[in-house]
Structure 1
């Protein structure tokens, strides 16, 4: 009767190996693509053309670097289970949006680096759970506005918003930054002609007197004057920003409907929009070479596991019949 017992043990071992193989690996030492240091708890996945966050990052990781890949979006659960992270760096990717709650489990995070992406906006409350964060880098993106309350982060001492497309900040946007020591605001088109800029101007002037670094880095789009020097007389206009809706004017639709085919003017369609309409995807959406190799090895490992598992099952049945 020892034969069936041994076969059953073999079946369990093979099943465990199959599950491990199916889940894949992150670190190079385990067949993955990232460099992992067990002593420092650092995981570096930079410059390997990733289009998704690896799924099996060690849960005790302290520093996770994902710089200069091809990440366009983050799954809501991308960093679940990584509650010990103190540094997360996503510089130099192609992120256009962030899902609400994506950073919520990173309760020990001290530094978050999101510079050199393509972020145009931020979800409200995206940083609310980061109660220990001291450094936040959002520079070199395409941010056009900050939502109300997005910077209710009292622990911050270094905030970088330079090289974006910000014209103003909401009333009270900076009021909770009690520990801030450095603020970078340069290379934004700050609109100093309308009264929405007055909150920021007065706040910066006050913080300059308190010794906050970088308050003079915000310059008006027109004239080059520092925002903190703007007076109520200079910013007396009401703020009116153009509607960004791209609907086709009714007059054009009427004209097209009443015209013959030969008279219809050819409307230029941006290549990018046309490609999106056709569902075109750029080549960098395709799996990268390391990912393809991992997929092939995973498939072969799965097939081998299934073959060995089937053999073990037949072995068990054979001995059960003889018994």
Structure 2
């Protein structure tokens, strides 16, 4: 009777190995580049020189840290399986654009860090699904304008960072729905105080002074005067700015035109990252020899697991029939 018992144990061991193989190697303990904490559900992929986001990040991840990398673009569905995220850091990268809908599945997100990138504009509605967001960092980018209503759904937002950008104005009513806001950083932007468009911001700062921190630091271009001190007589011009809020960034057009799969990153991943981590794709050219070898070894390992599992099952059935 020991035969069936041993076969059953072998089957359990092989099944566990097969599941581990199928999940992919995301964390260092599995041969990946990221550090994972099973207890806190934290995944740390920071400071790895990544040019693409690792695949197979656990679906129950709560915090994902991707700062201090070389990410320049995001596939539209790259975060769609991470609906339990409450913290996402993409700061200190090279992001030039955000595709519409990239954050739409992150409905539990509380903190989003996008600071210190190269964003020049934001797609309309980019934050509309993030209704639980309390902290949003957009500082140290190259934002030239904001879409109308871009913050309207963020009614729980408490802290918003927009300093060190290229903003000359904000749309009428830009902050009207941010009733819980306690900190807004607007300094180090070239606010155009000669145009009537600045009057909304000037009046809003005067109204919220004392209840929202740091807003008084916003100064007119050149630092000659605070935005809150601007009068209607000074802001007399009807200025027209180029529409940079609805144009599709060229990086996204290039990606969509050259790719049949929304989830394929735009740029190839350095060869050295493939040697440490298996969850990447290179869409623009054929895989190199080391990548092929790793793929073949992975498939061979999976097939061997299946063969052994099948043999164990047949072994169990054989002994049960004899019994």
Alignment TM class, shorter chain as reference: 0.7 to 0.9
- The aligned residue for residue 289 of structure 1 is 272
Structure 1 residue 96 corresponds to structure 2 residue 79: no
User: Is the contact made by 2:32 and 2:276 (CA closer than 8 Å) also made in structure 1?
Assistant: no
The answer for the alignment partner of 2:46 in structure 1 is 46
1:299 aligns with 2:282: no
Aligned length: 281
Q: TM-score, normalising length from structure 2?
A: 0.75
| CA distance, structure 2, for counterparts of residue 310 and residue 59 of structure 1 | 28
Aligned to 1:227: 227
Gaps of 5+ in 2: 1-5, 245-257, 259-266, 279-290, 315-323
1:111 to 1:161, Cα distance in 2 relative to 1, 3 A:
same
Aligned partners of 1:109, 1:48: CA distance in 2, in Å?
A: 24
Q: Is the 8 A contact 1:163 1:186 kept in 2?
A: yes
Tell me what 2:27 maps to.
Answer: 27
* In structure 2, distance between residues paired with 1:132 and 1:154: 8
Q: Structure 2 CA distance, aligned partners of 1:308 and 1:61?
A: 28
Q: CA deviation at 1:203?
A: 0.6
- For 1:39-188, what aligned pairs fall within 5 Å after superposition? 39-152=39-152, 153-188=154-189
Provide the aligned C-alpha RMSD in A: 3.4
User: What is the rounded CA distance, in whole Å, between the counterparts of 1:78 and 1:151 in structure 2?
Assistant: 22
Contact 2:18/2:306 (CA < 8 Å) preserved in 1?
A: no
Q: Take 1:178 and 1:309, find their aligned partners in 2: how far apart are those partners?
A: 57
CA displacement at 1:39 relative to structure 2 = 1.5
User: How far apart, CA to CA, are the structure 2 residues paired with 1:243 and 1:128?
Assistant: 21
Q: Name 2:190's counterpart in structure 1.
A: 189
> Which deviations, in whole Å up to 9, do the C-alpha atoms of 1:199-251 show, x marking residues without a partner?
1111111111x52111111110035211011000111011033699xxxxxxx
Matched residue SS, 2:207: helix
**Is the deviation greater in 67-76 or in 171-180?**
67-76
Residues 245-256 of structure 1: pairs in structure 2 closer than 5 A: none
**Cα distance between partner residues in 2 of 1:288 and 1:132:** 38
TM-score by length of 1: 0.75
Between structure 1 and structure 2, the one with the greater Rg is 1
Distance 1:82-1:311 versus aligned 2 partners, 3 A rule? closer
Structure 1: which 5+ residue stretches go unaligned? Answer: 1-5, 245-278, 317-323
Contact 2:51–2:268 (CA under 8 A) maintained in structure 1: yes
Provide closer, same or farther for how the CA distance between residues 243 and 26 of structure 1 changes in structure 2, counting only shifts above 3 A: closer
CA distance, structure 2, for counterparts of residue 130 and residue 12 of structure 1: 41
Q: Please say if residues 134 and 155 of structure 1, whose CA atoms lie closer than 8 Å, have aligned partners that are also in contact.
A: yes
Q: Which has the higher contact order (CA 8 A, sep 6+)?
A: 2
Q: Residue by residue, what CA displacement relative to the aligned partner does 1:230-276 show, whole Å, maximum 9, x if unpaired?
A: 000111011033699xxxxxxxxxxxxxxxxxxxxxxxxxxxxxxxx
CA contact (8 A) 2:107 2:130 kept: yes
Aligned with 2:277: secondary structure? helix
For residues 192 and 199 of structure 2, the distance between their equivalents in structure 1, rounded to whole angstroms, comes to: 10
User: Do 1:114 and 1:139's aligned partners in 2 also have CA atoms closer than 8 Å?
Assistant: yes
